[in-house]
Amino acid sequence: QKEVEQDPGPLSVPEGAIVSLNCTYSNSAFQYFMWYRQYSRKGPELLMYTYSSGNKEDGRFTAQVDKSSKYISLFIRDSQPSDSATYLCAMSASQSNNDMRFGAGTRLTVKP
């Protein structure tokens, strides 16, 4: 079993839809949780990071962490075609991120 599991999709939604992206993990030591967006042939771009459980909102993006269930989510409201990309979850037990583990990524397409 991988430490971080993420449904690779692909996920296709119409413009304006609410998108829900999820990851599960097995290592209870993870405390820092991140979401990255990666466009084709580009490096990952940090979208959000959270510490421990709870919610964090940034514009159209909301990150949720449920440590009791070892489950994290990213919600995208009012999705746009420019949101079409691969979304990677990442998590770490230490603040130094040297133990950061990534999911395989979910490929999202938002259709106009």
Partner 1 sequence: DTGVSQNPRHKITKRGQNVTFRCDPISEHNRLYWYRQTLGQGPEFLTYFQNEAQLEKSRLLSDRFSAERPKGSFSTLEIQRTEQGDSAMYLCASSLVLGAFFGQGTRLTVV
Give whichever of 18 and 46 is closer to partner 1, judged by the CB atom: 46
Helical (H) or strand (E) element with 20: strand 19-25
Q: How far is the CB of 20 from partner 1 (least distance, A)?
A: 19
Site for partner 1 in 21-80 (CB under 8 A): 32, 34, 36, 41-46, 49, 51
Q: Closest Cα partner for 51 from 38, 33, 36?
A: 33
Q: Closest Cα partner for 34 from 103, 111, 109, 84?
A: 103
Calpha distance 100→18 (Å, rounded): 28
Q: How far is the CB of 5 from partner 1 (least distance, A)?
A: 11
88 makes contact with partner 1 (CB under 8 A)? yes
Q: How far is the CB of 91 from partner 1 (least distance, A)?
A: 11
8 makes contact with partner 1 (CB under 8 A)? yes
96 makes contact with partner 1 (CB under 8 A)? yes
Cα→Cα distances 67→16, 50, 71, 75, 80, Å: 30, 12, 6, 17, 30
83 residue type, one letter: D
Binding site for partner 1 (CB under 8 A): 4, 6, 8, 32, 34, 36, 41-46, 49, 51, 88, 90, 95-105
